[in-house]
Amino acid sequence: MNSAIVRALLVRGMLAGLGAALPALIFAYLVGEGPVDAAIAFESAHAGGHGEEELVSRTVQSTAGLATGVLVFGVAIGGIAALAFCFALGRVGRFSARATAALTALAAFLLVYLVPMLKYPANPPAVGNPDTIGKRTTLFFLMIVLTVLLGIAAVLLGRRLAPRWGNWNASVAAGAAFVAAVTIAAVILPSGENTPHGFPANDLWEFRLASIGMQAVLWAGFGLLFGHLAERVLEPRTATATPSRTPTPVA
């Protein structure tokens, strides 16, 4: 794949990420802001009136701040996912551009978000000890790196076993090896749980479901949009001239 095509796909990946971020933003605002407000109220109630003064108002945080964060994140992950698509195209099977884009989005959702979140679940912004945020962030990104590397290793293992075991058996074996390796990594890594005692479990559960839902909307939208755009780059439709027909004279 030459550099011009990679560049075109990169730009379209960023555009697809931006487009996918719009419904994710709406979902985050409608579903996720309620649990965040509940977490802030909990923190304020337990601060005894000595909470730090907000540099940015809650209204700005929940509107312009949320929009900026989600849209910038969408553009960034769109570009990264487009590069991953360029690497995966033709290497994971004889899939079309749309199918490869869908598989790339699904793999990104699982490896970059869902699997690491099982070890280090999302917490509302106001929840947790601020002194440990650096450690928790480091552990979360370490889990992402390990999950991505183990996912790539599982794909390579499946491709290596496929000629001898068949595609189905090789896929099952590679998937089982991935689950086992991720489980071992999750057991070895330290816990990052830092939810304060007495925090409402219902609010925490709703926030985590909202977080999963937002990521699912984002990656599903990216897979659909980028698949369409990538197909137009890689499989352009060539216009074929339709031969004119000479009317047959009626006797």
Q: Which two tokens stand for residue 143?
A: 């889990």
DSSP state of 130: G
CB within 8 Å of 112: residues ≥ 6 apart: 77, 144, 147, 148
- One DSSP character per residue, 52-115 reads PPPSS-HHHIIIIIHHHHHHHHHHHHHHHHHHHHHHHTTTS-S--HHHHHHHHHHHHIIIIIIH
Task: Give the tens place of pLDDT for each residue, 74-121.
Answer: 999 999 999 999 988 887 777 888 999 999 999 999 999 999 999 988
Task: Give the tens place of pLDDT for each residue, 200-214.
Answer: 778 888 888 999 999
In this predicted structure, the answer to whether residue 182 has a pLDDT above a threshold of 90 is: yes
Task: Give the tens place of pLDDT for each residue, 23-67.
Answer: 999 999 999 888 888 777 777 776 655 555 566 676 777 778 889
* Positive or negative: CA dihedral 159, 162, 164, 165: positive
* Positive or negative: CA dihedral 165, 168, 173, 175: positive
Its pTM stands at 0.82
Structural domain boundaries in the chain: 1-47+60-126+198-235, 129-194
Residue type for 165, please?
Answer: W
Give the HSE-up count for residue 190: Cα atoms under 13 Å, Cβ half-sphere. Answer: 8
